[in-house]
Structure 1
Amino acid sequence: MKIIKSATIDNIEAKEVNVEATFTKGLPSFTIVGMVSAAINESKDRTKSALLTNEFKFPPKKITINLAPSEIKKSGTHFDLPIALLISLYEQKINFKEFHIFGELSLNGEIKDSNSIFPIILSLVKKKLVKNVLVCENSALKISKIPNIKIYCVKNLLEAIEFFKSENKDRFLYQKEVLAYNSLNINSDKFYYTKEYKEDFIDIKGQENAKRAALIAAAGNHNIILEGSPGCGKTMIARRLPYIMAPMSLDEILEIAKMQALNLKEPSFKPLREQRSPHCTSSKASILGGNNIGEVALANNGSLFFDELPHFSSSILEALREPLQDYRLLVSRANSKIIYKTKFLFVAAMNPCPCGNLLKNDNSCRCNELEIKRYKARLSEPFLDRIDLYIVMNESNIKDKATINSEQMHKKVLEAFKMQISRGQKNLNGKLFDEDIRKYCTLDEQSNEILQKAAQNFNLSFRSVNKVLKVSRTIADLQSSETISKEHLLEALSYRRR
């Protein structure tokens, strides 16, 4: 029996799979077993065609391919190449153990990439299960960004066979690519960013308080809600936030690329944080995850934007409490449990009342008090308690002027980011855990007294107090201050919902 190592995606993580082959006497047949999907069963025809068009004789034996372990469901077309190699080299004494092999075969024997190859290899590398991989050129281009792995590249089935027969395998070695983006080196770690501002804050006139809050949110990864009349610029601010957010580590870039691939998108490998913007009519399964990956998981290391926040169902908003608090989401299914990372910046926009005109100066609001109360009551106190910054925006005015652009705001974010990472923080201020808050968000005696009085006067919960401390820390970082002063704390308190 011969074995080639490969792997399959199980939810969002990879599971190692051994592709086993036996050739026994009996009526000629070709069977693939091991709880395989329809795509893998179709591999029989692709493999036969690839072998026959390249003048290989199909062995006149009973061929059984087993994908082990059998209790795991296997999916993907990348098992084509391992199966074809086992059949074409069944008479050769070749050791495949040092390599993990992935690739879909076309009918003429060319090797193609598939969406699952990159996330599988990334997951295997993180688990330290793989050192050498054999893939096609398109796959190699993507996985070349992954560290601690040797990549061997072949174009077609004939080259793959030649690879295993060759003593000089280094000539098939793929040269790794370096990310060609702006970067910061802090504490021997490298962080990447891009000066790309397709949507610029210079387009937003006035709204200085909201832009200041957006800057704080971007610098510390703080959750933010923008409340204001229609047309005041809520969505404009939300759309521009990803362009000024903090730089990304290589791990974060690869993690985003992995989720893009699992979502059947071509990974970009760009150090630009992704924003997910589900519609308010989206189902709970599409937001949190069901048979497919939910929006909260796809927004990890990026931002999640809810426009018209009160119109989302209460079950979705209440279910968001866990990912907003613990930065993870456990989804339980009949036969499995999946943990998604949810370290995203939550951005929401809402009107002040159902008609949206409550804050307008011309008193054109058509809602009565009961309608306004019902509208506001759609957001529960436990949900709002997880929001760091709550901003009530002014009505737009034609006389307002633009005061700052995205590049200037991004520069301030980069300086604040340097301070956070230089302190030894693993997370940005908005995502600090309780033990980190005690370490990095200390107050002097005067500031501590102010916070205690505010907690009593405004009935701040323990969670709210921690939110104030984290926002204060970010404000101090934006002003290059090592300590949190009274002015930083007072500004942070001003962003709490009244």
Structure 2
Amino acid sequence: MKSLLCASYTDGVRVVQVESVFTRGLPGFSIVGLANTSIKESAERVKAALSSLNFSFAAQKITINLSPSDLPKNGSHFDLAIALLIALQKSQNLEKVFVFGELGLDGSVKSTANLFSILLFLSQNVRDAKIIVPKEISFKASAIPNFEIYGVSTLADAIRFFEDSEFASSLREQKSDEILKDVVEICGKKYLPNRNFALDFKDVLGQERAKRGCLISAVGMHNIIFEGSPGCGKSMCAKRLVHILPPQSLDEVLNAAAYRSLNMQDSDFNALRPFRSPHHTSTKSSIFGGGSNVAKIGEIALANGGVLFFDEFVHFSKQIIESLREPLEDHKIHIARVNSKVTYDTKFILAAALNPCPCGNLLSKNLSCRCTPNEIKQYKSRLSEPILDRIDLYVQMDEISPSDKPSLSSKQMSELVLNAFKFQKERSQDELNANLSDSEVAKFCVTYDDAKATLDTAVSRFSLSQRSIKKTLKVARSIADLEQNEKISKQNILEALSFRTREIL
């Protein structure tokens, strides 16, 4: 029996051992191990590809097993591994390498839609592996850490890889440094900061409180909601927020690329964190993920590590808004379908924008509101208390004035966030402030005595829930990080409380 390694993606990437055995009996070719139709059909593709090389099949029964046999497997990328096990049945030196590729009938090796995402997920679990992939994606794959990438264009090249060591060395792709450009090292770990400021906060005139809220939100990845009249700059601030977020670790860059690949998007290695902005008419399954049989990725998973922006927040369906509770609290989304169960991380900033009333003029000093009190009440009642309790920062936008001027640029704000990020890492903090657990809040959110007294007063005066207390401390921690303070001061608590959502009710 001989074997090669491959991988399959169902509820995550799992390593699959492709085994072959030739036994006496009527000539035949069977594939076992819970293989789906695309793998079953590989038998015909493999036969045609081997025939194009004038390969003579032995008069034996060929059995291919995909182990572990209780794991459902799918994808045509198993073709190359199966063909190699048949072609090299007499070889004594099959290495333990990973082999990926779909075969054409003429023996060409092709990539598949989800192959790159499989490689990206695999890199997070496997170290120092040799990988044979189609030539068309070998250069891009060479940027993935932990892998030695060898690109092959045909089945003949793949066979020769195992028979000629000198030829095998010539197939190796030089390590691409695409993912390692412009990295910064913080506490011994490499991070990729964003240098793309295509959308600049300097374009936002005035709105100093909104910019301050965005700065605090970026430092700790805090959820933020903007309320204001139409055209005051709510969407402008939300769309620029992603440009000032903390730098990503290399694992985060790889994970974001893997998620994009699952969504059939180009999986480049981007220092800019994800930004997703679904329309309010989007379906629940498109936002949270789903499908009839296979659990497909949704917008909130694609926003992991970045910003999920809900413009016209109250116009999203009540079911979608309320379904945000678990992902915002647990930072995970569980999708269960008949054939698959998948869990995705959802550590994103929820940025939302809404008008103060249906006509939008409630906060205006110059325009009169045309809404009745009952219409305003119904409008705002679409946001329940549990959802508002999960919002860390509430920003009421200023009215536009001819005297409004630009202030901080995105580049300047990004530098402030980077310095605060370094300050967090120097105290051995793994998670950003908004994602701290209860035990980590007790460890890192240490207050001065007068700050504790101020928070206690606020708890009784504003009837803060336990979640609100923790969120206030986390926001105050981010403000203290901007000031490079080890402990949270009274002023930090007061500023955090000024951003609470009580004004929206």
After TM superposition, is the score higher than 0.5?
yes
1:150 pairs with one of 130, 148, 151: 148
- CA distance in structure 2 between the aligned counterparts of 1:129 and 1:415, rounded to whole angstroms: 32
1:83 to partner: Cα distance: 1.6
| 8 Å CA contact retained: 2:52, 2:106 | yes
Q: Which residue of 1 aligns with 2:252?
A: 252
Q: What is the CA distance between 1:278 and its match in structure 2?
A: 1.4
Indicate whether 1:396 and 2:394 are aligned.
no
> Which residue number in structure 1 is paired with residue 14 of structure 2?
15
Aligned partner of 1:426 in structure 2 is 430
Q: C-alpha separation between the residues in 1 aligned to 2:368 and 2:29?
A: 75
Residue 28 to residue 335, structure 1, CA distance change in 2 (3 Å) = closer
Residues 1:482 and 2:480 are matched in the alignment: no
Cα–Cα, structure 1 residues 293 and 87, in superposed 2: closer, same or farther, change >3 Å? same
1:31/1:65 contact within 8 Å kept: yes
Q: Does 1:329 align with 2:328?
A: no
1:112 to 103, 110, 113: 110
Residue 261 of structure 2 is aligned to residue 261 of structure 1: yes
Q: CA RMSD in A?
A: 2.2
Q: Is structure 2 residue 413 aligned with structure 1 residue 417?
A: no
Q: Distance in 2 between matches of 1:266 and 1:334?
A: 28
Deviation at 1:335, TM superposition (A): 5.9
Instruction: Tell me whether 1:309 sits opposite 2:313 in the alignment.
Output: yes
Any idea what the Cα deviations from partners look like across 1:434-474, whole Å, max 9, x if unmatched?
11111111111111111111111111111111111111111
Q: How many Å separate the matches in 1 of 2:123 and 2:405?
A: 51
Give deviations 1:408-431, integer Å, cap 9, x for gaps.
Answer: 111111111111111111011121
1:192 Cα offset (Å)? 0.8
Which stretch has the larger CA shift, 53-62 or 135-144?
53-62
Distance in 2 separating the partners of 1:155 and 1:394? 60
- Paired residue for 1:87? 86
**Cα deviations by residue, 1:40-83 (Å, 9 ceiling, x for unpaired):** 23423433333233333455654443333343322112111112
Tell me if the contact between 1:181 and 1:194 (Cα under 8 Å) persists in the aligned partners: no
Distance 1:283 1:185 in 2: 41
Q: Does 1:236 align with 2:240?
A: no
Q: Which residue of 1 aligns with 2:471?
A: 467
Q: Distance in 2 between matches of 1:208 and 1:175?
A: 48
Runs of 5+ unmatched residues, structure 1: none
What does residue 186 of structure 1 align with?
186
Relative to the length of structure 1, the TM-score reads 0.93
Q: Which amino acid aligns with 2:85?
A: L
Q: Runs of at least 4 residues of structure 1 off by over 6 A?
A: none
The whole-number CA distance in structure 1 between the counterparts of 2:479 and 2:63 is 65
Partner Cα distance (1:312, 1:300) in 2: 20
Confirm or deny: 8 A CA contact 1:210 1:393 kept in the other structure.
yes
* One-letter amino acid of the structure 1 residue matched with residue 138 of structure 2: A
Does 2:77 align with 1:73?
Answer: no
Contact 1:124 1:130 in 2 (8 A): no
Separation (CA, whole Å) in 2 of partners of 1:255 and 1:341? 10
Matched residue, 2:162: 164
Match of 1:342 in 2: 346
Structure 2 unmatched runs, 5+: none
Deviations 1:215-258 (A, max 9, x none): 11112111000111111111111111111111000010011011
Distance in 1 of aligned mates of 2:251 and 2:336: 26
| 1:18 Cα deviation from its structure 2 partner | 2.6
Check 1:180–1:334 CA distance in 2 against 1; reply closer, same or farther (3 A cut).
closer
Shift of 1:207: 1.0
Match of 1:361 among 347, 352, 365: 365
Structure-2 separation of matches of 1:391 and 1:264: 36
Kindly indicate whether the alpha-carbon contact (under 8 Å) linking 2:194 and 2:244 is maintained by their aligned counterparts in 1.
no
Farther off after superposition, 53-62 or 280-289: 53-62
d(CA) in 2 for partners of 1:400, 1:106 = 63
Q: Partner letter of residue 383 of structure 1?
A: I
Q: Which amino acid aligns with 2:413?
A: M
Letter in 2 for 1:329: I
Higher mean Cα deviation, 52-61 or 67-76? 52-61
Where 1:182 maps in the other structure, the secondary structure is coil
Aligned length: 496
